[in-house]
Structure 1
Amino acid sequence: MQLTTALFVLSATQRDFRQQQTQNLNIGSNIFVEMLSNRSDQLNQSLSLLSADFGFKRAVATGEQDTISSVLANHGRRINADAAILLSPQGKLLSSSLQGLTAANIDELFALTKNRSTTFEIFNYDHSSYQFVLQPVKAPTLIAWVGMGFTMDKNVADQAKTITGIDISFINQSAGRIEIVSTLAQAQQQDVLARINLLAKTVDKVSDDIPSNYLSTTIALDKNSGHQWAVLHQS
């Protein structure tokens, strides 16, 4: 009877603890999404100032390439942006700090102008994920689209862990290559990569083994191609 009672208590305790950890994971996931939304809001506010600047609009309207490049670089440095671009109203690349953009990259960026989200947009370039925001430049009609972005790097992962209290991994799978940025230890990162085929099945769900001994939930950063994820882990 004592053994039966002990097993019952242990089982109930484990069940309650798992439920509590699952709740913590879900709360952390919501906080992370809110964090990205706030970053987009801040970037939108900063870009609004740039797109309304008379000198910048004049440079765009007259095609002063040196001035455009200089203003984009200076503004990008002020807000610590990792990428800055300028597109024509038709989607032609006018200026970019990202070298070697392909036609597909430019089309993907231009598509963000048509489907601008109220939360955040993620752009895949050179096996890295960028949180990107684009704003129209009008004088008074549309003359260009200006955009800036931040890479989803270790600094962002560390910041997210500090805010949410849980570990996080950014995974980019493109062109036959997989890149991971994570707050997890190296061995656990390899465990996550070994289960990468399970990620699509765990979007907005809780998994017990990505990696082992962790509860995890996956957020699809790119809902179109499904090759960019944020995975949150609760020990």
Structure 2
Amino acid sequence: MIPTVLLHAFPLSSAMFAAVDLPGLIAPDLAGFGTSAVPDAPPGMSALAADVVAELDRRGLDRVVLGGVSMGGYVAMAVVREYPERVGALILADTKAGADAPDAAANRLRMAESVLAGGDDTDVLAARMLAPGSPVLAEVQAGVRAARPEAVAWAQRAMAARPDSFDTLRQVTVPTLVIVGELDSTTPPAEARLIAEAVPGARLVTIPGSGHLPPWERPAEFTAAVREFMGGLPAGARLGA
């Protein structure tokens, strides 16, 4: 069997996977978030991908089932692009493959400057990520507030600079699961369908009643989707029971 590594969404930490029940799950904090240090490298997905691979090396892991939610999905796609030999299967949840349009990238850069200047729209950001009336709103708000301004700014700049990943996805040859929250307005189901159509043989699962963060909003359904996917992997790639 090979381990499963899940990468968290912006601007949260690995705590978002606390209720996901997968044996042997590895959920690192991306650089700058949770317990990890803000990177010294110029902002970019390549730097985050290199950090993930360095973590695999520290753990002595050759190949993993790699998954990511939102920004974590951007990082997972960067790992596939730059270190394809390390990925035995792929899970992309509530993310998108296209690069930011110029106005969206410019808005990220403005937000980076704003947060460093003391701007605070964390509660608005948390609410936008969740389904209306979500019972986990307060928890997600706390997670967003815990993010350090310098980490938020670095990540915004990294996301603004990320490349289009559709060509990368079209070359994926490992089993791939695409997950999306039914009510995700940040990276809506249409984006998930584009990813699923780009990856040969990809499976698409929609999580009912969830917004942008299914592992936090609907952990049981998210877990079930991943477990079912794992059950269909070749024997050498299956998650242990």
Confirm or deny a common fold (TM above 0.5). no
Structure whose alpha-carbon radius of gyration is higher: 1
TM-score computed with the length of structure 1 as normaliser = 0.29
Structure with the bigger RCO (C-alpha within 8 Å, sep 6+) is: 2
TM-score computed with the length of structure 2 as normaliser = 0.29
